[in-house]
Structure 1
């Protein structure tokens, strides 16, 4: 068997029905099976971008991504294959039969599980139904590369992105819209604002400054910073918040501990926050007046594309 590792992406595509969430199950005439939308990554494509593209090609629907569900691995003729699945909410569109899918059914999750042809798809669907479909997503972004602080002689607030940071910001400009952002916030540092300025321009939105998300202000009043993060989530929508490396690990660790969420890091390891990385944080409303509660956390260490196939 070849040592090439094939990467693919898919989703549980869902919409609001009269009796709750409905999920899409696709019939593929080539295999005569019922499956979740999925397909291989194109060259130069990120995993989230492939998931959204495959949804559009197979179902005709434009979707916005939510939390990562599962990574399914299995052997194929060209080598070991992995498929990353996301929750994906319908935004617009309509199904028309095509070469890949000749029928699409919208079903309650329990009915969909009975129709799906593969145990792996049923496992993905079970992960989707383990939490409510309609969660609030916060995209917490570490600013892109801006050179070394010691090499900058001016006001550190005005330290701009480096050429590699500009490339990272360009990749974020492509990646973040896949999650349907509708608000853009940043710590008032030039490098933070520049990281998300292109996204804001594309969305026709301002970049709102968040003083408590700077390292200095956050650690002057950590509780106020944590409360501010939860207030941003409580406002709804899908906010993007760009902050600094001295803030993000503590914020993520706090909301994870508060919600009882195990982070995708080894025990004892520091919460990662590479420059240009994204934490996809999924919240639901807590009972009573407890405020939003984190229920899932996914870390994207880079917005840059990965090879669609790599050698083991």
Structure 2
């Protein structure tokens, strides 16, 4: 089973981490054989995974996707999270967060500076070439996930809308209450964060604050937007089973999707998610009000082979400038 992962704001705020980095184990299948992408770094004369340090104002998922793009010239979407590794560097402790990322038949183009060569190879060959023992531990987890049919997945993402104007200061229809200035900045950050998983479809409450939260992502990524009345605050309170049914339907088409609604609707969505995962994994879902902060998201990876089975859970809050 893939691990759960949670990150809010600075992911290592309560730990003495000197350097935070992120990367990905890119994988593909060639004639049914699992292959992984190794990079060669001339500076260190070693074989490793694409990775690098966070830029200011960047979350670890965004960093992982950017580093793969910069170092090997391909844009990936993140799959299951893999265990982070920690090791000592001159400035202190460094932590590197990793994800699996399916690369398929993409053409790899090393940048020539940080990376001068690349190699698609079997996991067995990768174990022989990897220079850092901790990189081999991460590979072991990826291979184990593949053996359990947990490697090929698609993302289902639950988003709470960004910060709205206070109810006390709004005199018009509740469905028209928009985002506050802070919320508009959060919406831009949510749009950047979601690109790490690239949902093709967005299912959203038609109330203004939800639509405004998702529009930066929808417009910047040509995602399909579907507005659903059943998941507004009022309708979900009157007919909770119908709202839960909308969440259940997200599993049917097996297409990457983001679902955006209101704080009172979140426990209904979480109840549905629980039915699709093991009890142990479900323990990592938020269990108390407010469940998610404004603009925060739960990312579930759903097995492509076993219909409706969630194999990993992550929780992220988009960076606010």
TM-score, with length taken from structure 2:
0.84
Cross-structure match for 1:204: 222
Q: Which residue does 1:129 correspond to in 2? A: 143
Moved more, 69-78 or 16-25: 16-25
Aligned to 2:193: 175
Compute the displacement of 1:258 (Å).
3.7
Q: Does 2:159 align with 1:146?
A: no
Displacement after TM superposition at 1:264 (Å): 7.2
List, as ranges, runs of 4+ consecutive aligned residues in structure 1 with deviation greater than 6 Å.
none
- Looking at structure 1, the residues matched to 286 and 264 of structure 2 have their Cα atoms a distance apart, in angstroms, of 20
CA distance in 2, matches of 1:67, 1:126: 14
* 262-271 or 205-214, larger mean C-alpha shift: 262-271
Alignment-derived partner of residue 112 in structure 1: 126
Q: Distance in 2 between matches of 1:233 and 1:193?
A: 22
Counterpart in the other structure of 1:245: 263
Q: 1:1-312 residue pairs with structure 2 within 5 A?
A: 5-90=18-103, 92-96=106-110, 98-131=112-145, 132-260=150-278, 261-263=280-282, 265=284, 272-284=291-303, 291-304=307-320
Q: Secondary structure of 2:65's match?
A: helix
Distance 1:270 1:31 in 2: 48
The CA distance in 1 between the partners of 2:74 and 2:178, in whole Å, is 38
Measured on the aligned residues, the alpha-carbon RMSD in Å equals: 2.5
Distance in 1 between residues matched to 2:161 and 2:198, nearest whole Å: 20
Q: 1:118 to 1:227 in 2, by over 3 A?
A: farther
- Give the secondary structure class of the aligned counterpart of 1:283: strand
Greater mean deviation of Cα atoms: 141-150 or 114-123: 114-123
Distance of 1:218 and 1:127 partners within structure 2: 40
CA apart distance, 1:80: 1.6
**Secondary structure of residue in 1 paired with 2:112:** coil
Q: 1:267 to 1:175 in 2, by over 3 A?
A: closer
Counterpart CA distance in 2 for 1:63 and 1:159 is 36
Deviation of residue 267 (structure 1)? Answer: 9.4
- Once residues 153 and 271 of structure 1 are traced to their aligned partners in structure 2, the CA distance between those partners, rounded to angstroms, is 24
- Supply the distance in 2 between the matched residues of 1:229 and 1:113 (Cα, whole angstroms): 41
Aligned counterparts of 1:96 and 1:217: Cα–Cα separation in 2: 51
How far apart in 1 are the matches of 2:32 and 2:257? 28
1:277 Cα shift? 0.7
The separation in 2 between residues aligned to 1:56 and 1:164, in whole angstroms, is 30
Q: How many residues align?
A: 300
Identify unmatched segments of 5+ residues in structure 1. 306-312
Tell me the CA shift for residue 297 of structure 1.
Answer: 0.8
CA contact (8 A) 1:252 1:271 kept: no
User: What are the superposed Cα offsets for residues 242-290 of structure 1, whole Å, 9 maximum, x if unpaired?
Assistant: 1111122442354235411525749976683110011111112575xxx
- Structure 2 stretches of 5 or more lacking a match? 1-15
Q: 2:234 aligns to what SS in structure 1?
A: helix
* Deviation readout 1:7-41 (Å, 9 max, x if unpaired): 11111112232224321111222222221111111
Residues 178-224 of structure 1: per-residue CA shift (max 9 Å, x gap):
21221122112110001011211123345211223223333444444
Q: Taking structure 1 as reference, are residues 153 and 226 closer, same or farther at Cα in structure 2, changes over 3 Å only?
A: same
Measure, in 1, the Cα distance between the counterparts of 2:165 and 2:71. 43
1:104–1:241 CA distance, 2 compared to 1 (3 A): same
